[in-house]
A and B are shown apart, each in its own frame.
Chain A
């Protein structure tokens, strides 16, 4: 049985433009973790009817309560409400939801994150115990987050910024190309970020013959697959739903031109 649970905020810190928040989630991780890349659906106050889906950055099975770290940006009323919750308060959480990245603990992956798509890749980095490589893209140096943690948890980390203020001046897909030219023995490219980024990363991966999985976003309703609003078109003409079938999809099944 799935549950809806009141979870206590045990840590909240500003991280660049984003909020880093740690929740005590009872046995949620023990009972519903399947893979990195899942999300939680959080009720953001009484005035808003829709929960807000937020990707899990990292999670940990603990006694007496599992811990879940989230990183989110204030995008609207709901996330603004959540950002104002002080430590010690509780929030109503549904989770863990969705299908994460299909990966092995023994595998070696090329992790690609863009902007607020960076935090979910951290769970992948931890899962593979330092074997993976991360390529992280941000608008600028000020927007860069979690770099130290990725450096601790990956074999290698490369950074790109849109304005060149940190690392490579340009987009992550150029760094993905450079990395795959050097070494195409990665099991899979795993990516999370804006759709145009995912599309170009998927294209590069395909050119090098490396499988690619992407984490997609869409406006959601129920978060569990019942209301069908978060439809995303597939190459075969069908639609799948980000909350239940995803959020992670094989890049090859996604209709990138829709």
Chain B
């Protein structure tokens, strides 16, 4: 019997497939399709200290094997999450990973304190949102700022593990990863979206009202695999790998590159059942390779 469970910063996931923040809301919608207990974990929609209405529409554009989004962290705020959404998510036998973005290091601290007290399983610190002006991406592109935010989050998260979500929009992602590890992070998640743009040639207008947005979907998978591989070689932290995963083979690539678990995001929009298919296909691959546990895939790439 193949063991599907994996450990991510001391948190045991029943299987290595979680859903990526921002693609799954707070779970209510997809819970109408299947039991969320089928998932290893749920990365909830990104939270900020205060509610945000997000960016003007259009917020989405389709691109070759990808999509661009510019939602801009629309969310009800951390307090509403704790009072309205967390109790709902808690009904399911799955790990709850809250995702937070702040305008200042102090805001990250306040949110970590609230979420730690509320009892989430893990906190994913977003230092890489390309769609907001303040904070966001800036924290993810400068090692010293990334470290400052990580330290602040760790200081206020109590016993809840802190996972820092890295941006691919940097020259050298390993520098950021090392800085964040040095600041005490318990895990890393990568990659966030890659900045992109699509223009309607007839109107000469960008499709997105914000002009640019974040690219996700199968188009970014090779970038994610490469970055997970690079990062896994320079840090000792467990990695949640994501970026374009839509089938088991994609997840297996990320795990072989060094990820302990993988997140499925954009694939949900074409197929609400994609995370479950990725899980089953991953199990098939591990089984065919004669493994006794799917976690044996992690870091198993044989580079030339």
Contact at A51–B270, with CB atoms within 8 Å? Answer: yes
A224-B60 contact in complex given A1-B32, A231-B74, C-beta closer than 8 Å = no
| CB of A49, distance to nearest CB on chain B (Å) | 5
Closest-CB distance, A48 to chain B (whole angstroms): 6
Query: A214 CB to closest chain B CB, in angstroms?
Result: 16
The contact string, 1 if C-beta is below 8 Å from chain B, for chain A 219-241, is 11111111111111100011100
From known contacts A232-B57, A239-B54, infer whether A221 and B272 are also in contact, taking CB-CB under 8 Å. no
B60 & A1 in contact (Cβ 8 Å cutoff): no
Interface size, chain B (Cβ < 8 Å): 38
What distance in Å separates the Cβ of B8 from its nearest Cβ neighbour in chain A?
23
From known contacts A226-B29, A227-B71, A231-B54, infer whether A1 and B34 are also in contact, taking CB-CB under 8 Å: yes
Does A244 touch B at the CB level, under 8 Å? yes
Please state if B71 and A2 are interface contacts (CB–CB under 8 Å).
no
Contact status B60-A226, CB under 8 Å = no
Contacting A at CB under 8 A, from B52-88, are 53-62, 65-67, 69, 71, 74
* Other-chain residue from A2, A3, A48, A49 in contact with B266 (beta carbon distance below 8 A): A49
- With A1-B32, A227-B71, A229-B69 given, is the CB distance from A50 to B54 under 8 Å? no
B29 touches A225 (CB 8 A): yes
Task: Check B29–A228 contact: CB distance below 8 A.
Answer: no
| Most chain B CB neighbours (cut-off 10 Å) among A4, A43, A219 | A219
Partner of B65, one of A49, A233, A258: A49
Q: Min CB distance, A253 to chain B, in Å? A: 15
Whole-angstrom CA separation of A4 from B33 in the bound complex? 9
**Contact among A94, A220, A226 with B23 in the assembled complex (CB-CB below 8 Å):** A226
A97 to chain B, nearest CB (A): 10
**Chain A binding surface, main DSSP class:** loop
Instruction: Determine the distance from Cα of A80 to Cα of B102 in the docked complex, in whole angstroms.
Output: 43
Query: What residues on A are CB-neighbors of B60 within 8 Å?
Result: 50, 219-221, 227, 229-230
Which residue of A is nearest B24, CB measured? A226
Which residue of A has the minimal Cβ distance to B35? Answer: A1
Chain A residues numbered 62-107 whose CB sits less than 8 Å from any CB in chain B: 94
Query: Which residues from B are CB-within-8-Å of A228?
Result: 22, 25, 45, 54, 59, 71, 74
Q: Which residues of B contact A196 (CB under 8 A)?
A: none
Interface residues of A in 20-73 (CB under 8 A from B): 43, 47-51
A219 close to B270 (CB less than 8 A): no
The yes or no answer to A218 lying at the interface (CB within 8 A) is: yes
Q: Who on chain B is nearest to A44 by CB? A: B270
Bound together, the chains give a CA A112 to CA B267 distance in angstroms of: 37
Among B34, B69, B71, B270, find the residue whose CB has the most chain A CB atoms closer than 10 A: B270
B110 within 8 A of A: no
Q: Are B54 and A51 in contact (CB under 8 A)?
A: no
Q: Is B217 an interface residue (CB 8 A)?
A: yes
Chain B's closest residue to A225 (CB) is: B29
Residues in B with CB closer than 8 Å to A3 are 33
Residue with the highest number of chain A CB atoms closer than 10 Å, among B34, B218, B271: B271
Assuming the contacts A221-B69, A225-B25, asked whether A231 and B57 have C-beta atoms less than 8 A apart, the reply is yes
A72 to chain B, nearest CB (A): 17
- Is B23 within 8 A of A219, CB to CB? no
Question: When chains A and B are docked, how far (Å) is the Cα of A158 from the Cα of B105?
Answer: 61
Q: Which of A2, A225, A226, A239 contacts B53 (CB 8 A)?
A: A239
Residues of A contacting B33 in the complex (Cβ-Cβ under 8 angstroms) = 1-4
Collect the chain B residues with CB atoms within 8 Å of residue A49's CB. 62, 65-67, 217-218, 266-267, 269-270
Q: Give which listed residue, B53, B54, B57, B218, contacts A219 with CB less than 8 A.
A: B57
Establish whether residues B62 and A229, one from each chain, have CB atoms under 8 Å apart when the complex forms.
Answer: no
Question: Closest residue to A258 on the B side, CB-wise?
Answer: B56
In the complex, A218 Cα to B271 Cα: how many Å? 20
Additional A-B contacts beyond A222-B269, A233-B53 (12; CB < 8 A): A43-B270, A43-B271, A49-B267, A50-B62, A50-B269, A94-B272, A221-B60, A223-B269, A226-B30, A229-B69, A231-B57, A239-B53
A residues bordering B, Cβ < 8 Å?
1-4, 43, 47-51, 94, 218-233, 237-239, 244, 258
10 inter-chain pairs at a CB distance below 8 angstroms, sorted by A residue, are: A1-B32, A43-B270, A49-B270, A50-B269, A94-B272, A222-B269, A226-B29, A229-B57, A229-B58, A231-B53
The list of the 3 closest CB pairs from A to B, nearest first, reads A226-B25, A229-B60, A229-B59
